[in-house]
Amino acid sequence: MTWLTEYVRPKIRTLLGRREVPDNLWVQCPACQQMLYHTELAKNLKVCTHCGHHLRPLAEERLDWTFDNGEYTRIELPKVPADPLRFRDTKRYIDRLRDAREKTGLDDAIVVAHGTIGGQKAVVAAMAFEFIGGSMGAAVGEGFVAAARLAILQQAGFVCYTASGGARMMEGAVSLMQLPRTIIALDMVKAAGLPYIAVLTDPTTGGISASFAMLGDIHIAEPNAEIGFAGARVIEQTVREKLPEGFQRSEYLLEHGVIDMVVPRPQMAETLARVLSLLRRAELSQAA
Amino acid sequence: MRYFLDFEKPIAELESKIEELRQMSEAEGLNIADEVSKLTEKADRQLRATYAKLTAWQKTQVARHPERPKAKDFIRALITDWTPLAGDRAFANDAAVLSGMGRFRGRPVMVLGTEKGSDTETRVAHNFGMARPEGYRKARRLLELAGRFGLPVLTFVDTSGAFPGIDAEARGQAEAIARSIEACLMAPVPIVATIIGEGGSGGAIALAAGDSVLMMEHSIYALISPEGCAAILWKDGTFAATAAEALKITAEDLKRLKLIDAVVPEPLGGAHRDPATAIAAVGDAVQAALTPLLALDVAALHARRREKYLEMGREAIA
Ligand SMILES: [Zn+2]
């Protein structure tokens, strides 16, 4: 397959260019304000050791925590034309992109890797909230499509960690078209008889929620993640009502039947392994 | 009385002057035909000049014009044997989404439309065209029904977006939209979608992920409203006109970006000046889009759709 030879090259940069040394060795928990020592926090998968709050990790940390022994191969994602609208607000979009790339060392708001989870082949796409709020433009759509194709090619389970404030406004309707685009890719995965698990993390709102985040065979959410379509402020202004307690949070969605389960981060990898093993079709299990 | 937009004020003044003269000449038996025809010509020139170069923000206002034909007007004019169908079979019937079967130029079709309403009473009844999950779930049900019986699907989209409400979120608005898009993409029958007014974000594309997507000349199709974008990126809602321009929301923009298939011309001065002609032009464009799609079998239709959507945004457009 040409796209594979063209696009899938092991990423050596995975081990080299990681920029995660914090400026400060102490991190304040945004929920309980406790100061946490960063190595302790990292050991606890960025879950506050004091109150259990799930801090937002980097996309690459998701990969580290999900694959067996933290081993995986990142794939290089296809390039798409940057800045299709030549957009500028108070700043040029092309400059925002450049700044985000410099700051994060990522090309855009998604990383894709393959490896094993509980011994089973898996492709994981992790959205990077640290890159322009994890917003979805053509590059994120392209990354998701590439991940879906890789899962089919490898007959692997497909897992996506969503973390996104929504669509990338600076790509306008091009961004909107990523909704049908990613859904088409997902349907190819489903047609291939492979499981797709959406892991919803804080936040999963807007365009992401109205496409691949909500089309999982299984929906798993991290505790207390903000998940929803419309922004809370917009809703408040429209209905002029106070929003209910816990509105648009994981536990609220579980109660309303939108997701299957809420799983704390330290149990995520084992949960994924179990779900993937249960969803393996008989003929595939035997062939494996 | 016609409703005039702010930028139409010079035209409005001319037209009211013409009307005044006409009434005067009738009342007093004066012959002022020359004067009237001169003014009429001037008004016409002004209208032509204004509409030849509408800004994205002006188009936004035309697209939202209260007298612009609404989805129900298109259905009334283009569909015979109209048979409304209701309900998502789970919760409610969402009146923001018009739905039913009928015949389009003799052929049985399924029709879906977002309806904004045209006066206070109907606007409230249709929730200003903002659908809730049950609206998108009804759409999904009817897309599946259309597929089983081989009915092509026509959609008429005019919505500022999905309804942002507590109840809508509690019932899974995001999932409902995603499933509706999926149902469009999986349908074994051709879908021709027309943006007739406002194509507002996810709530619009839920009914517009078609094989052929048409936009009326002065309609808009946007990820976010210009006002919303301005509030977020410029931190100031008054930058809406600037945001409208930057977001590239006009039919011409979307066509150039290869995100839609065709632009349907509107009568001079916009569809609200001559709804019948505007609707007839949409009918012809829908027919032209539908005909070649009817020749495709399911496999070819799906392959074409897959390619169409997978390609979007891949090409550099200067
Ligand atoms: Zn804490």
pLDDT, tens digit, for every residue of A49-65?
A: 999 999 999 999 999 99
> From ligand 1's centre to the CA of A250, what distance in Å?
18
- Binned at pLDDT 50, 70 and 90, residue A285 comes out as low
CA distances from A2 to A75, A188, B45 (A): 14, 18, 57
Q: How far is A41 from chain B (nearest CA, A)?
A: 33
| Topology of the domain covering B60-311 | 2-enoyl-CoA Hydratase; Chain A, domain 1 (3.90.226)
A220's CB contacts (< 8 A; 6+ apart) are: A197, A198, A199, A200, A259, A260, A261, A262, A263, A268, A271, A272, A275
Contacts of B160 in chain A (CB under 8 A): none
Q: Which chain B residue's Cα is nearest to A239?
A: B165
Helix (H) or strand (E) holding B195: strand B191-200
Segment A131-143 mean pLDDT: 97
How close A40 comes to chain B (CA, Å)? 36
Between residues 173 and 202 of chain A, which touch chain B (CB distance below 8 Å)? 173-181, 183-185, 187-188
Interface contact flag, A230 B243, Cβ < 8 Å: no
Mean pLDDT, rounded, for A257-274:
98
Query: Does residue A98 belong to the interface with chain B, where contact is any CB pair within 8 Å?
Result: no
Summary mean pLDDT of chain A: 91
- To which H or E segment does residue B84 belong? strand B79-84
Q: Is the pTM of this model over 0.90?
A: yes
Read off the tokens for A25: 């060795």
Beta-carbon contacts of B184 under 8 Å, excluding residues fewer than 6 positions away, are A180, B143, B153, B191, B206, B207, B208, B209, B210
Choose the closest CB to A141 out of B174, B206, B313: B313
Among residues B289, B118, B288, B309, the alpha carbon closest in space to that of B197 is found at B118
**Which of A7, A85, A179, A190 should one mutate to test binding to chain B, selecting the residue with the greatest count of B CBs within 10 A?**
A179
**With a CB-CB cutoff of 8 Å, which residues 116-135 of chain B face chain A?**
none
Please name the fold of domain A58-287: 2-enoyl-CoA Hydratase; Chain A, domain 1 (3.90.226)
User: What is the spatial distance between Cα A121 and Cα A134, in angstroms, rounded to a whole number?
Assistant: 26
What's the confidence (pLDDT) of residue B174? 98
Interface of A with B in 25-54 (CB under 8 A): none
Do A110 and A150 touch, CB atoms closer than 8 A? Answer: no
Dihedral sign of CA atoms B196, B202, B203, B206 in order: positive
| pLDDT tens digits along B61-90 | 999 999 999 999 999 999 999 999 999 999
- Both tokens of B249, joined, read 């929301």
Sequence-distant (6+) residues with CB within 8 A of B127 are B94, B95, B96, B163
Q: Reply yes or no on whether the pLDDT at B1 is more than 70.
A: no
Which pLDDT score is estimated for A19? Answer: 52
How buried is residue A113: exposed, middle or buried, by Cβ count under 10 Å (0-12/13-18/19+)?
Answer: buried
Give yes or no for a cis peptide into A78 (omega within 30° of 0). no
pLDDT at residue B20 in the model? 87
Residue A11 — very low, low, confident or very high, per pLDDT cuts 50/70/90?
A: very low
Average pLDDT, stretch A59-85?
95
Phi and psi at residue A279, to the nearest 5°: -90, 5
pLDDT score for A16: 41
Which of B203, B202, B205, B199 is CA-nearest to residue B219?
B199
Q: Which residues contact B256 (CB under 8 A, 6 or more apart)?
A: B317
Contact A177 B312 (CB under 8 A): yes
B183-215 pLDDT, tens digit per residue, is 999 999 999 999 999 999 999 999 999 999 999
Residue among B129, B176, B119, B178 at smallest CA distance from B156: B129
Is the pLDDT assigned to residue B171 strictly greater than 70?
Answer: yes
Interchain contact, A179 vs B185, CB within 8 Å: no
